[in-house]
C-alpha cells in the first residue's frame, strides 16, 4: 500500500510518494480549484503508483471534512468528493496538524506553526486535536495570529515579534499543560533562540504526518 501525500499551500503544491525520496512541486494560487489541483497532481504523478492519498489543506478540517474555503486559493473545496476524483481512499487534514503529526514523539505536544498566520494542533497519547487558537484575542483587540504571524513580524519588527512569540508560547504551553512545544512554519528559522520547552520543527515532517494518517493506532 503506497500513500501519496499532497501538501496544498497558497503558492505551491508539494507531493511525496511513500518510499520515494523525491519531493515534487507544482504551482498553486488564487485560481486553484480542487478539480484543478486534482488535474495538476495527476499530471505530475503519472509515473507514481499509489493506493491511498492524504491531503494537507490550508484551513480548518474536522472529522475529515473541510469547514471553510481557503483564503489563498479558489473556492469549491467544501464538500468536494476527493475520493471519487482520485478513485482511491482519501484522508483530509489541516496542513498544520499534518506537520504536527509528523513531529510527534509521545506525551502531550503542542504544535505552533509560525507562518503567514498561526497554525495550531495538540496531540496527546496519539490522539490528535486540530485547533484554531490563532484567532483567539490576545492584546489591544488583536489576536495571537496578529502578533506572531507574518503581519505581526512586519508591524513589530523581528525583536519585538520574537518577544511576542516567547510570550504566546508560554501562555499556551501553560494553558494546555504541555510536555513540550514544537515550533514549525517558515518563520521559526528567523528566531535567534527558542522559548523554553520548545524544539524546532521541520516542514518535511508534514509528509511523515501524511503517512501516519493511515496508522490504525491514531485517534482523533
Domains of the chain as residue ranges with CATH:
3-97+207-212 (3.30.420.40), 105-201 (3.30.420.40)
CA torsion, ordered 195, 198, 199, 204, to nearest 10 deg: -100
Given this model, what pLDDT does residue 115 score?
87
Give the pLDDT band of residue 186 (cuts 50, 70, 90): confident
Residues whose CB falls within 8 Å of the CB of residue 134, separated by 6 or more in sequence, listed in order: 117, 118, 119, 120, 143, 144, 145, 149
Given this model, what pLDDT does residue 116 score?
83
Cα–Cα dist 164/208, whole Å: 30
| The model's pTM | 0.89
Selected residue with higher pLDDT from 220 and 187: 187
Amino acid at each position: 500500500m503506497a500513500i501519496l501525500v499532497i501538501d496544498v499551500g497558497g503558492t505551491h503544491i508539494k507531493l511525496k510518494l511513500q518510499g520515494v525520496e523525491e519531493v515534487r512541486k507544482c504551482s498553486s494560487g488564487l485560481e486553484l480549484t480542487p478539480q484543478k489541483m486534482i488535474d495538476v497532481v495527476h499530471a505530475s504523478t503519472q509515473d507514481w503508483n499509489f493506493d491511498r492519498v492524504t491531503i494537507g489543506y490550508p484551513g480548518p478540517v474536522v472529522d475529515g471534512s473541510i469547514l471553510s474555503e481557503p483564503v489563498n486559493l479558489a473556492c469549491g473545496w467544501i464538500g468536494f468528493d476527493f475520493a471519487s476524483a482520485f478513485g482511491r481512499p482519501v484522508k483530509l487534514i489541516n496542513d498544520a496538524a499534518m506537520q504536527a503529526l509528523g513531529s510527534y514523539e509521545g506525551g502531550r505536544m503542542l504544535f505552533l506553526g509560525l507562518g503567514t498566520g498561526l497554525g495550531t494542533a495538540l496531540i496527546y497519547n496519539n490522539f490528535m486535536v486540530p485547533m484554531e487558537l490563532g484567532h483567539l484575542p490576545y492584546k489591544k483587540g488583536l489576536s495571537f495570529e496578529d502578533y506572531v504571524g507574518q503581519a505581526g513580524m512586519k508591524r513589530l519588527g523581528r525583536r519585538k515579534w520574537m518577544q511576542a512569540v516567547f510570550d504566546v508560547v508560554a501562555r499556551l504551553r501553560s494553558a494546555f499543560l504541555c510536555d513540550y512545544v514544537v515550533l514549525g512554519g517558515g518563520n521559526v528559522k528567523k528566531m535567534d533562540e527558542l522559548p523554553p520547552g520548545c524544539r524546532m520543527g521541520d516542514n518535511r515532517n508534514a509528509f511523515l504526518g501524511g503517512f501516519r494518517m493511515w496508522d490504525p493506532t491514531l485517534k482523533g
